[in-house]
Structure 1
Amino acid sequence: MEQLSKQEIELLRILQHNSRFEISELTDKLHMSRTSVYDKIKKLETEGYIKGYIALIDQKMVGLNFTVIINVSLESQRLEYVDEFLERISVLEEVMEAYVIGGLFDLVLKVIVKDHEAYADFIAQKLSAIPHISKIQSSFVMRCIKQQSALPF
């Protein structure tokens, strides 16, 4: 991928805060024509800088009041164990984020569910069904201080 222009960087900054833009706002802010703005957006999409467009939903408004950070250790860090674990959790709708990490644990998951009963079901029926897990440690989110999707570039 080539180096991004200042206009492309600014366009990405604007879109990550609000992708429901008015084209006239973008043309004014970027000092570009409508066609140029559309061409830049298409280029950024094609090159993979823009992965998609989503609506950010308030989880509590839809009844998902329980957020849990789960640290997971595997029996071994063998590549096939890690790959199998990642494949299995990637299809679990409750898992919002997953990271392979270094340190005391092998993976960190962010899980969002309705309540503690739904979390217990998730652990018993879904997470524990994945082979090669040696330890699960859960931390329950009491209050969200900051949640952001915009990247700091």
Structure 2
Amino acid sequence: MLSMPHSTAAACTGRDHGDLHLFFDDPGLARHPPAPQGEPTGLFLDPRFRSPPAFRQAADSAVRRAQQLVGAIEAAEAKQELRMVVKYFDQLSDTLCQVMDVAELVRQSHPDCEWKATAEEIYSSMLEYMNGLNTHVGLYKVRYSARQ
């Protein structure tokens, strides 16, 4: 069994994490065909996660998409639009969790300090954003109206 560090600092002490590098870097272990030679596949074979800067861009893109969905939810007034609210909430959750779930895993287990630090930043900022959504009065009002 792999020993997983519980903090970014603990993982960046110079210990050998060859087994983790193998897990994260070997596409064959994920049971997917390898990318064409020389092309990085990204974590979990997702091109949005090819590098820490690309990971940040994916997080920024997810938040922008979430903001668009929040706007669509808040604008829902007509009966037909209110029927779409459940779909919009589902898309909102999917959009944020696609990046946030990866950030949680990477910050807990990736052997590279830069990846871990990036994932920690992404996770923290997205958690703050999601907490704001959980107390968003406009979303609550629309959700309540849609139930009527």
Q: TM-score, normalised by structure 1?
A: 0.24
Q: Whose strand proportion is higher, 1 or 2?
A: 1
Greater helix fraction, Structure 1 or Structure 2: 2
Q: Tell which structure's C-alpha radius of gyration is larger.
A: 1
Q: Provide the TM-score with structure 2 as the length reference.
A: 0.24
